[in-house]
Structure 1
């Protein structure tokens, strides 16, 4: 008897030994295994539970079509489409409890699509030679994916790569045994923020919303947190969105690597989820503190948050650029959207007398956003700071109005 079953996906024509090794470790720990081959040219030493033909056909194609394409990239995209479709179907049928995908750059490209086909709460692990690499764009990462570096794994089994593979096998099986899946019966509100020293509204808002019967998930909007937030919004996981820390948009348009993709601040709107938006830390661009300052941002004031993170303070013209970028992203929203604009500042360090205070820059941002705010968005200019009680009160008044009118469902 096995208590949890792990689906293992990989190219069995080139990584047969490694994939079978992982399966052996999982079985040795009492887990079950289902295997899926996403090869194109070769065959495994032993049949897999789902063959490469099953995979290609699930995506509406065939192995012959992949071969005839004459291009490795095109062929693997055919397999990625088929594997994603098949894995989604198997997940819905309850055929596995956790997912592990193994690969180099080709396999990782496919793995990202496959893992995005599996919902939050189902453990999903990518074992890759390029884990943690800047090759992997933030917008392709699922909200709860785990990545393990496949050290020494370019070709064949060895003592180094066995250490990585065995840990990956134990990790996915352990996660499948331990995971507490989200309670979808309790309505969820998604909120973005930073630490309490910068943005403090969540301290009052979270218990207030919980007292109304909602669960509240607060996402740290430093690139990956915003990506997870967008991913879940796209899946319709939220009953309402409170997207107050939208700095990742400014990061993106100013060339920072600490961003959540071009589509940040769009998923909730596309899904028709009611959203209250604000401008927390709009004036800052986060950069990796250990990298040289980009030439385009040199000469601007900066704040070293820690050894990992430095924030550059934008000047007035760049703040106007951010205002336009925010407006463009909410313009496509299909659901009710309110933008609460605190005209006295948007983080702890821009209050009067604080280190990053720039009244002229703030005035430029407020002026530009007021001019370009789209017609589908209700703009609520608030003569207060984002960390004032008035901000929380305005948000709750909007939310309670939506509850009364049925825009947000009642728990």
Structure 2
């Protein structure tokens, strides 16, 4: 029986040959095909792989000899990571693989992040790692649809514990390759950021209105990983227009929060020249990991425990000014049409008059600083409303319709 889907398996075959071979056997046992890639440097696999380590290094513009001669394992692995990413992208473009799975510890995971980022959205990409979900994995290196499986008991050699992880991973990647519905790209895609309806409402009105105009709308939950996925797709040029209204991750990163989308948050759409509207939803808050104690410098501040995972703490007036300056600096790098909408009556449901996190002085300070710092390449729309008011959404649609009329945004598909 011929295989219906082929999965790329990548790893260091000199140290993990048994584990990688077991993974391949599991996939083949379920009727899938396998294409193997060795990313070792020093040693060799027990049997030749479909893509050798020499092939990988060469595609990366180097050689195994150069990797060895570097005398530095970090440099050597980066040579292999560059080649593995390029080779995976090539194999997919040639129709030779339908998904990918990479096995490793910290070295293999470092390489895996590059390989997965080289594959398009909709191509199943799994990382089986001893450090899956670890805080050491920087958000900006995570592909938008990467999947991770913790490799329990997988440091050295096969055992019944690690086989449990590997067999599940084999079923997951093959099943995903069989079940995936890749993005259709039949309508222009609008990327929007937001939070849940308890704190922000605009997407409830905007999403159906934009869909009626012939656009597809993807709303990203801007709590670190959602913002990361948004930035990843913006960097790929996936969006016809961006409505980046929940920009709280900028302040999170500035404040050193673990809930971060990376240092490049709020920059990739602009650098790609994608038309973008930006607004400061929740600019006044820093999200913190709820099960960790508050940092000393934030003790005693007004806070909202959203759940056991996430707590939002109010920023000081000066910190809000700093956020405004940082947002302006990020927007200054934009090469496409950019409008900043400034709702001067507030940026989330918790900051309305009478609500627990209302701070009129802090809001006024942010608005004043934003007006002063707004760069020349950005149009600032000063709105006398709250971000959750209908007036905000109506102005967004008015600007959008004008951009469509001027040919800045492509017309929707009926």
**Structures share a fold, TM > 0.5?**
yes
Q: Which residue of 2 aligns with 1:161?
A: 162
Partner Cα distance (2:107, 2:296) in 1: 34
Partner Cα distance (2:188, 2:345) in 1: 33
2:114 matches 1:125: no
Partner Cα distance (1:77, 1:289) in 2: 35
Partner Cα distance (1:323, 1:79) in 2: 41
Partner Cα distance (1:395, 1:297) in 2: 35
Q: Supply the RMSD in Å over aligned alpha carbons.
A: 0.5
Partner Cα distance (1:138, 1:61) in 2: 28
Q: Which residue of 2 aligns with 1:110?
A: 111
**Structure 1 residue 15: deviation in Å?**
0.2
1:318-397 correspondence to structure 2 within 5 Å: 318-397=319-398
Partner Cα distance (2:271, 2:93) in 1: 24
Partner Cα distance (1:51, 1:64) in 2: 14
Partner Cα distance (2:297, 2:232) in 1: 31
**Structure 1 residue 239: deviation in Å?**
0.2
Q: Which residue of 2 aligns with 1:135?
A: 136
- Secondary structure class of the residue paired with 1:7: strand
Partner Cα distance (2:352, 2:213) in 1: 32
- Secondary structure class of the residue paired with 1:189: strand
- Secondary structure class of the residue paired with 1:13: helix
Cα deviations by residue, 1:365-406 (Å, 9 ceiling, x for unpaired): 000000000000000010000000000000000000000000
Q: Which residue of 1 aligns with 2:282?
A: 281
Q: Which residue of 2 aligns with 1:232?
A: 233
2:41 matches 1:40: yes
Partner Cα distance (1:336, 1:297) in 2: 37
Partner Cα distance (1:184, 1:109) in 2: 31
**Structure 1 residue 301: deviation in Å?**
1.1
Q: Which residue of 2 aligns with 1:301?
A: 302
Partner Cα distance (2:300, 2:376) in 1: 37
Cα deviations by residue, 1:255-275 (Å, 9 ceiling, x for unpaired): 111010010000000000000
Partner Cα distance (1:45, 1:186) in 2: 49
**Structure 1 residue 315: deviation in Å?**
1.5
Cα deviations by residue, 1:34-67 (Å, 9 ceiling, x for unpaired): 0000000111111100000000000110000000
**Structure 1 residue 361: deviation in Å?**
0.4
Partner Cα distance (1:25, 1:340) in 2: 53
Partner Cα distance (1:128, 1:232) in 2: 24
- Secondary structure class of the residue paired with 1:99: strand
- Secondary structure class of the residue paired with 2:304: strand
Instruction: Give TM-score, length-normalised by structure 1.
Output: 0.99
Partner Cα distance (1:331, 1:294) in 2: 32
1:213-232 correspondence to structure 2 within 5 Å: 213-232=214-233
Q: Which residue of 1 aligns with 2:70?
A: 69
Q: Which residue of 1 aligns with 2:100?
A: 99
Cα deviations by residue, 1:235-259 (Å, 9 ceiling, x for unpaired): 0000000000000000000111101
**Structure 1 residue 296: deviation in Å?**
2.2
Q: Which moved more, 1:295-304 or 1:232-241?
A: 295-304
Q: Which residue of 2 aligns with 1:291?
A: 292
Counting matched residue pairs gives 411
Cα deviations by residue, 1:71-127 (Å, 9 ceiling, x for unpaired): 111100000011111111111111100100000000000000000000100000000
Partner Cα distance (2:326, 2:93) in 1: 38
**Structure 1 residue 299: deviation in Å?**
2.4
Q: Which residue of 2 aligns with 1:59?
A: 60
Partner Cα distance (2:247, 2:69) in 1: 46
Q: Which residue of 2 aligns with 1:184?
A: 185
- Secondary structure class of the residue paired with 1:26: helix
- Secondary structure class of the residue paired with 1:219: strand
Q: Which runs of 5+ in 1 are unaligned?
A: none
Q: Which residue of 2 aligns with 1:408?
A: 409
Instruction: Give TM-score, length-normalised by structure 2.
Output: 0.99
Q: Which moved more, 1:181-190 or 1:339-348?
A: 181-190
Cα deviations by residue, 1:145-174 (Å, 9 ceiling, x for unpaired): 000000000000000000000000000000
Partner Cα distance (1:68, 1:96) in 2: 32
Partner Cα distance (2:296, 2:335) in 1: 38
